[in-house]
Amino acid sequence: MSSAEPTEQTGPAVRDPDRAPRPAAPVPPPVPGLAESARRLADATTTSTALVADVFARIEATRTTLNAFRHLRTEAALAEAAEADRRLAAGERLPLLGVPVAVKDDTDVAGLPTHFGCDGALPPAASDSEAVRRLRAAGAVVVGKTNSCELGQWPFTEGPAFGATRNPWNTEHTPGGSSGGSAAAVAAGLVPAALGSDGAGSVRIPAAWTHLVGIKPQRGRISVHPYSDAFQGLTVNGPLARTVADAALLLDAVAGAHPEDFHRPPAVRAADAARRDPGRLRIALAWRPPLTLTGAGPDPEVRRAVTALAETLTRLGHHVEEARPRYGLIGLAFVPRATAGIAEFAARHPEPALLDPRTRSALRNGTRLGGRVVRAARAREVRQHRRIGALFDASGFDVLLTPTTAAPPPRIGAFDGLSAWRTDLTMAAACPYAWPWNVLGWPGVNVPAGFTRSGLPIGAQLLGPSRSEERLIALAAQLEDDLRWYEHRPPA
């Protein structure tokens, strides 16, 4: 395996007064999607070297506008692409052989530090995470690591370590977080697809705010190794892509357990599900979020977009009716687990003084809430499964539909200068819908639901009971066939 390389920096250009300036190299068009890239490589209508070179050209062209990447593997990825081209020419075929992809900054890639949005000097990872190992086994070329907010805590991707990652639909706004770098990179066509992670909506929220499909799979579907139980079981890895088929293909490529993993659900065939009719489903539409002490409901434009999506589902033959899941006081289980998880990651940082004051506050709270309180919170999960699962088991619904967020994407800097408490309240008001499914460990899929009148993306969640990814993916694919959201791209 080639060694990983950081981004290569060059000094300022020196002008020669006797030579006319050369025109800038043209920026390649957005790269094709995951399945289309794989098809073109297999048909020999392009090469991995060309695809990867185009990826790096687009990343460089958007470095100062979008700022999606923390680390690039420029030399290593181009060497791996050349090797993939040799393997393809020899007749070898793998699901993603030669296809460029990106992973999030919380993911171990051998030779690169895992900063997870933090500032400071960290050693390079000695080995790949299990998800990256599976990506490589499928033939993918990992081009780099995308920006994340510090320890994945917030629904924005900003921080002193790397600046602000911006939304390609409107660069005055955030793409969301914490997988905002992955979302921005995919939405802008810098990469065909990317992995993110979701501990409280961190795949689904940026997918909603950048017009993407984002899958939060069942806990354990994609390994989080070298962690056995990331963020006290809240966090899972998941794909972001422009189409359901691409997200499903990436899910199939990385799904599977490491021998040391706690959670080992039976395998699914996501790509097959994306080609399957979901049948006629009973869908519950829920507007009321769980208790967050903010009193926030959906923004009128969010309500309009999700209502239109519900009407589309009805037109497609599904039965949709409003319902109220019995969330109870599920936040009392979420907060100890989330803060304890942050404390566990923050305690590993070699220079704690470099952490955001809000992170240090979470570290203190998580330390206090660890141990017995966390164990009690986790013990409540079985009862929460029964209470919320009654929506599916007793009431007979197949899918729950909610807004993914209560608000459109905020402006860059909207959370600057807020205390830890005000940040949490502002975040809970904007994003009250996603996190309960992390407590439950069940799957959910964000689908694009349209745009605000000013052109900002809005998303909706399809949520299911345990191990229901195939049903959710089939339903998302049916919606995509009708709405054709992939035809809408952000401005170049």
Known catalytic residues are 104, 178, 202
Tokens 């506050």 identify what position?
Answer: 361
Whole-angstrom Cα distance, residue 439 to residue 295?
A: 21
Please count the residues of the chain: 492
8 Å CB contact between 32 and 40:
yes
Write the DSSP assignment of 113-167 as a string of letters: B--TT--S--PBBSS--HHHHHHHHTT-EEEEEE---GGG-SSS-EETTTEE--B
The one-letter amino acid code at 226 reads P
Is-cis flag, bond preceding 361, omega within 30? no
Tell me the C-alpha distance between 115 and 488, whole Å. 33
| Beta carbons of 446 and 203 less than 8 angstroms apart | yes
Instruction: Say how far apart CA 341 and CA 151 lie, in whole Å.
Output: 9
In the numeric block, which tokens belong to residue 132? 């990256």
Q: In terms of Cα–Cα distance, which of 327, 288, 280, 281 is closest to 306? A: 288
In DSSP terms, which residues pair with 237 in a beta bridge?
A: 197
Bridge partners (DSSP) of residue 321 are 284
* Residue found by looking up tokens 């171990």 in the block: 108
- Strands in 444-451's sheet, in edge-to-edge order, are 69-72, 141-146, 100-104, 193-198, 236-241, 213-216, 444-451, 457-463, 399-403, 282-285, 319-322
